[in-house]
Amino acid sequence: MPKDLLDLVYSIMLSMKFDIEPLANAHCDTGENPLWDADKRLIYWEDIPNGRVFQLNVDTLEWSKIYDGPLVGGFTLQEDGRLLLFRENEFGILQDDGSVQSLARDLFPETGRFNDVMADPFGGVLAGTMGKERGLNGGLFHVSPSGEMKQLWTGSNCSNGMGYSPDRKTFYWTNTTAKTIFAFDHDPQNGQFSNVRAFIQTPIHEGSPDGMAVDANGEIWSARWGGWGIFHYDLEGKLIEKIEMPVERVSSLIFGDDDLQSLYITTAGGKDDSDTADGTLYRVRVNVKGQPEYRSRVGL
């Protein structure tokens, strides 16, 4: 049997053990940044270019739009339960009425808009950016709890998913431009990074690595833009399995539910006047636990 056909059969066999459950089709152009709120039992996600943020109750599966305004490149859950939105070139707190209390404006405009962010173990935020006009001046920034912002790395057009190992001694960062997930040594006491190296390099035919999550075993789950799936890697960076998704542009994922064994997966490519599945939020049950997400304390 030809290798391409063998690969297809193997991929189908792997995907058969997963139940892909569509939850909400907001026809997102670029669905992104799913985030689990264990206290309120909500999943938040966004549609970046259309400036929309949504929430879904995981018990009732009812969902609604909670923000409609300037584009949001990512957000974190604050320690007080509010969302910290990173918009075009600013960040601020989402209020109950849908308005945003700005905490900082006009941040490093030469790098382009924010794209994919996560809270760190110390209450700060790691915030990626897009290269302006598709240049390699995007990168990764750190925002301290006091709101101080500094650049950590540059040289990417599209900074993307991030995560920490369970012992916090390794930090992973996705550089979509280079089709590479990088690993850094991380000091869990002072938050310093060192010894950067390429950890996972993705073949062109598998699409581009996008959002990601790290499970309780320290293994990586990578969403694949243009790759029709979620790719699961072991501690050595070797592919374990692929979750085949029904849409091509799979953008990000988060572990959620009480047992942290559900993947909530965002996708892209939808349009408001379309009836396709592109841009749907999905849920998939898996046999490993995720890690609780850190919460930010910026401005608190």
User: Is 258 a residue of the active site?
Assistant: no
Catalytic annotation, pick one of 47, 116, 210, 257: 210
Cα end-to-end distance, the chain, whole Å: 61
- C-alpha 70/C-alpha 277 separation (Å) is 25
**Catalytic center residues:** 210
